[in-house]
Structure 1
Amino acid sequence: MKLISRLSILFFLLSPFAASANFDFNANCVKAYQSIFELKLTTAKQLIAAEKKVRPNNSIIPLLENYVDYFYLLTTESKAEFEKLEPNKANRLDQISRDDKNSPYYLYAQAEINLQWALIRSRYGAYFAASREINRANGLLKDNQKKFPSFHLNDKGLGLINVVIGALPDGFMKSALSTFGVKGDVQTGLAQLDRLAENLPKSTYEPFYEEVIFYYAYLLSDVAKSPQAYAKTMKYTARIADSSLLKSYMQAYVCARNGKSEQAIEILESRPKGSAYQPFAYLDYLLGVARLNKLDMGASSNFNQFLQHNRGVNYIKDTYLHMAWIALLKEDTTGFNHFINQVKSKGNTYAEKDKQALNEANASRPQLVLLKARLLYDGGYLNKALEVLNGSKADNFNNHKDKTEYAYRLARVNDDLGKDDAALVQYQNAINLGKGLKYYYAAKSAVLAGNVYERKKNFAKAKACFRLAIDMKGHEYENSIENEAKQALKRIEE
C-alpha cells in the first residue's frame, strides 16, 4: 500500500470513494482504514472519532468501527471481549440501513459487517449463527454485484465465501449453509481473489489492496493449502509498507506454515514495534514455534512471553505442548509431565491446534527420534530431518503407531526433497501399517501419495489413493482429510 499522502490524493482524484454524500470514503477515512491494516488501531480510532465529530452521518464510520473491532478481536483472541463488543453489530447495521440505497457501499458495508462477525464467531464454535451471517453476506454481495457490476470490491467477500464454503468438510456448518442455499467453490474463489490481487494496484480501488491480500494469503495457506501459498504471499505482500505489522504477520505466518522457519524468525524478530501498534501476543507464540522447529531450546522464552501477555482463549494448550516437547528434548521427564498436565488443565479447545494438543497430551509420550524429525520437517530442515530418521529403522520402534509414524515422516521428507519413488514406498508402508488405527498417518499418506501420482500424470493411481483416503474412517482429522481427498478428485475430474 502506498503512503498516506498518495491515498489522500487518490480520494480527490478517483470516484469510488465518493459514491454518495453519506457514504463518504474521504481522505480522513482512507487514513483510518490504512491505520487499521497496519494494526495501528489507536490511531484509527482517533481518526474515526474526528470524522464522527465533523460528519456524524457518514455511514463509512460504522464500517470502519467494525474493522477496528474485528482486528482487535483477532489480535486478542478474547471471547470475553467478543461478547462485550458483539452488540455493536446491530447498531452499525441499523445506521447503514437508513442510508442511501443507491450507493454501492450500502449493501457492501452491511455484507462486510456480517462477514467479519461470522469469521470471529466461528472461532468460538458458534457455527449456526456464523452460517446465518455468511448467508446474509453472500446474498447482499450478490445483489450488489447485480446492481453495481463494476464495483470490484464485491469479489473480495464473494471470493472469501467461495473458498471457505467450498473447502468446508462435511459437518454441522456445511449442513447449515446448505440449508440456506449457500454453496462454494475453492478454485472459483481463489481466481476471484487472484484477479483482485493482480488488478487492484492498477485501479481506482488500490487502497483496498492490503485487505484483499490479508484474506488471500490466509486462504491460500490455511484453507486451500495451496503449494503456491508461500510464493504468492511473498509476491503480493512485497509492495505493502514495512511499517505494517499486519504485513509482518502475513509473511511470518505463511513462512512458518510452509517450512520457511529461518525466514519466519527473521521477519518476526525485525517486525515493527512500539506503542502505536496493537498488542499481538500470537506473534510471540509463532516465533516460539518457528524457533523450536530448528530445535532451538530458547523458544521457551517466546512461549513464556506469549502466556504472560496473552488475553485470549486460543493456543494455550498448544503452547504448553510445545513446552513439554522442549522438556522432553532436554530429557527432563519431570518437566515434560508438568507441562503435559498443563495442556490437560489450561486453555480451551476452540482452535484445531488446541484440540490436537489435548489429544497428544492424552496419548503416549512421543518417541524422541520421531519428535525431532517432525519438528525439523515442519521447519523446512529436510536434510537434517532425513539424517535423524536414517539413524533409525522401523524395527527400532515397538508399536504400530510409532512404526506408522516413522514411515509417514520418512515419506514426507522424501516427498519434499523430490524423491518421489522413495516417498511412495514409505507412504504405502504407512498405509499398510496404519490402516485401522485412530491416527491420521495412513489416511493422510493416501492423500499425499495421490498428489505424487497426480504430479506424475498417473491419474488412475491418484484417484485410487484419494478414494482410499475417503474410505478410511474413525481416525484423527477424518473430515478435513476426506474433504481434501474429495477436492483432489474434483480437481482431477475437471
Structure 2
Amino acid sequence: MENNPGSFLSWSSMRSSCLWMPLALGVWLMAFSMAQAKFTFNTNCQQAYQDIMSLRLNAAKERLEQEKRTLPENDFIPLLENYYDYIYLLCTDDKPLFERAKKSKGERLNRLAAGDKDSPYYLWAQAEVNLQWALLRGRYGEYLNSALEIKRTNALLKESIDQYPDFLPSQKAYGMVQAVLGALPSGAQKALGTLGVRGNATKGKEMLENAVKGLSGSVFYDETVFYLAQVYMNITNEQHGYERIESLCKQIDSQSLLKTYILAQYATKSGHGARAISILQSKPSGRAYIAYPYLTYLFAIAKMNRLDSEAKKIFLQFINENKQRSFTKDAYLRLAWISVIEGDKAAYEKYTQLVKTKGYSFEERDKQALNEIADAAPNADLLKARLLYDGGDLQGAKNCLLRLDPNKMPLQRDKIEFCYRYGRIFQDAGSMANALKFYKSAIDLGSDSPYYYAANAALLSGNIYEQQKNYEQAILFYQKAIDMKNHPYESSIEHKAKEGISRLKGIK
C-alpha cells in the first residue's frame, strides 16, 4: 500500500540506531566485559539500554544517574548518555535542544577513545556515537558534517568487524549503514564515494537478516528487528514483509513502545489499517515513557485511511502535542483534505494557509505538503480512493473511481492520477494485465508532468514485468522511470529503478 513512494530511510527521517550487547554471545563475553576496567556492561547498564530501546526514557535516565554514582569510570556511561540524547531528540524533534546537546559529542568520543583498545566494544561504541550524530545532523541540514561522520562510522565498523568478526553488534550496525547508504540518491552516493564510503542495500538487508537470527533472545534483538523493518518497508519493499516483521516482533516485550511504533508504522504503510488502529489503541503508557506525538499522528492517519470522522480530532490533538514540529505541515494538509471531503471550502483555505506558516520542513512529507497546497484542491472522489487504498480497502477505493469519468475531468493532473490509482488497485488485486494497461495510460498522459504518478507507474510496471521474467520490458520501463525528471520523489524512484536494472543485467 502507498502513503508515498519516497524512502523513510533518508538522512532526514530514520528513527533509531539502538545499541546493546547480545546475551546470546555467551558467558565468556560477559566475563570479558566485567574484567575490563572501563567497559562494564553490567545489569544496570543493560536495563538502561532496554529502557531506552522501549522508549522508557524517564526510567532510563534514573538508571544512568545511578550508574554515574556507583561506577563513574564505566565507559558505557557516555555511550548510554549519547544514546539517550539521540532517542530523545528523535522523539521530541527539539532543534534548540539539538544545538545544545551536540556540544557533548566531542567529550564523549574523547572518553571512549581513551578506553580499552582490546575490548570488542571499543571501536563499536565510537562508531555508534558517530552514526547517531550523522543522522541527527542530516535531519537538520548539516550535510557536510553528517557525511564526515558517516565516513568515520563506516571505517570504525569495518575495522571492528575485521578484528571481531563474530561480534554481532558491529554486524548489526554495519548492515544498517550498508542498507541506508545503498538507498541514498545517486548524487549522494557519488559524493560519499569520493570519500571512500559505499553501500549496498542488498548486502545490508542480508546482514540484518543474519543478525536477527544470531541475536534472538538478546538485548540487541529489538533494535535489529526495527532496522530490518525499516529496510523491508522503505528500501527493498519486501513481499509479505509486514507478516515477517509481525512474526519477529512476538519476541519483543509487549510493554515496549518501540514495538508499538514498528508494527503501527509498518501496518499503516502496508495497508493493514485496522491492525494499525488496534495496535495504537493498546499501546503501553505511564510515567516511565517519554511523550511520543508521532504515534498520535500515525493513529490519525490510520483513522483517516478508513474515512473515519474521528481523524480530524486526532490530527488536532497531534498538532497540540507536537508543538509545531515535524509532520505538522502534513497534519494540516490532511485536515485540508478532510475539508475537501466534507465540502467545506473555507476550512480548506484555512488549513492550507496553516501548512505554509506552521511547523518544520525537514521531513519529506512536510516538503510535499507545501508542494500539494501550491496546486489546485484535490478531487474529492480521487482523494477518497487514495485514502481507502492506503488503508487496504481496495473495493472501497475502486467504488470511488467508478463514480468518475476521466474524460470530464478539467485537470490533466486528475486524469493522470485516475489512471495511476486504478493501476495500483488492479496490481494489488493480482490483475496484472489491467494494472499494466492503466499504468501505460498514466505514463502516456503524465511523462512530462510535474507529478510523480507517471514515474512511479513506470517503476511499478518494471516490477511487474520483472516478476513475469520479461526482463527486456522490465528494463525498458525502469529506464522510463529514470528518464522522467522534476517531480516529487524523483531520487527515490530513480534509485529503485536503477537497482532494478542492476539486478537484471546479469539475467537478460
TM superposition score normalised by structure 1: 0.95
1-structure distance, mates of 2:486, 2:399: 33
Q: Which residue among 84, 108, 111 is the counterpart of 2:100?
A: 84
Q: Is 2:443 the counterpart of 1:434?
A: no
Partner residue, 1:290: 302
Partner residue, 2:235: 223
| More deviation, 91-100/218-227 | 218-227
Partner residue, 1:188: 203
Instruction: Tell me the amino acid that sits aligned with residue 334 of structure 1.
Output: A
For 2:185, what is the secondary structure of its paired residue?
A: coil
Partner residue, 1:32: 48
Instruction: Tell me the amino acid that sits aligned with residue 64 of structure 1.
Output: L
Alpha carbons of 1:153 and 1:128: their partners in 2 closer, same or farther (altered >3 Å)?
A: same
Q: Does the 8 Å contact 2:24/2:216 carry over to 1?
A: no
Q: Which residue among 122, 140, 150 is the counterpart of 1:134?
A: 150
Overall identity of the aligned pairs, in %: 41
Q: Is 2:263 the counterpart of 1:247?
A: no
Q: Does the 8 Å contact 1:141/1:158 carry over to 2?
A: yes
Partner residue, 2:37: 21
1-structure distance, mates of 2:31, 2:241: 31
Partner residue, 1:4: none
Q: Is 2:249 the counterpart of 1:237?
A: yes
The answer for unaligned runs of 5 or more in structure 2 is 1-20
Q: Which residues in structure 2 correspond to 1:83-482 (within 5 Å)? A: 83-171=99-187, 173-201=188-216, 206-311=218-323, 313-482=325-494
1-structure distance, mates of 2:386, 2:22: 49
2-structure distance, mates of 1:212, 1:12: 18
1-structure distance, mates of 2:24, 2:485: 55
Task: Give the structure, 1 or 2, with the largest relative contact order (CA under 8 Å, sep 6 or more).
Answer: 2
CA displacement at 1:81 relative to structure 2 = 1.5
2-structure distance, mates of 1:43, 1:348: 29
Q: Is 2:82 the counterpart of 1:66?
A: yes
CA displacement at 1:406 relative to structure 2 = 0.3
Instruction: Tell me the amino acid that sits aligned with residue 186 of structure 1.
Output: A
Instruction: Tell me the amino acid that sits aligned with residue 108 of structure 1.
Output: W
2-structure distance, mates of 1:105, 1:330: 57
Alpha carbons of 1:382 and 1:17: their partners in 2 closer, same or farther (altered >3 Å)?
A: farther
Q: Does the 8 Å contact 2:22/2:221 carry over to 1?
A: no
The answer for unaligned runs of 5 or more in structure 1 is 1-6
Instruction: Tell me the amino acid that sits aligned with residue 290 of structure 2.
Output: Q
Q: Does the 8 Å contact 1:121/1:130 carry over to 2?
A: yes
1-structure distance, mates of 2:395, 2:238: 23
Q: Does the 8 Å contact 1:112/1:137 carry over to 2?
A: yes
Partner residue, 1:42: 58
Q: Does the 8 Å contact 1:18/1:25 carry over to 2?
A: no
CA displacement at 1:219 relative to structure 2 = 2.3
CA displacement at 1:293 relative to structure 2 = 0.5
Q: Does the 8 Å contact 1:18/1:24 carry over to 2?
A: no
CA displacement at 1:80 relative to structure 2 = 1.3
CA displacement at 1:22 relative to structure 2 = 1.1
- 1:18-53: per-residue Cα shift (whole Å, max 9, x none)? 432310101111111111111111111111111111
1-structure distance, mates of 2:443, 2:194: 36
Instruction: Tell me the amino acid that sits aligned with residue 431 of structure 2.
Output: K
CA displacement at 1:17 relative to structure 2 = 6.7
2-structure distance, mates of 1:223, 1:462: 19
TM superposition score normalised by structure 2: 0.92
Q: Does the 8 Å contact 1:162/1:189 carry over to 2?
A: yes
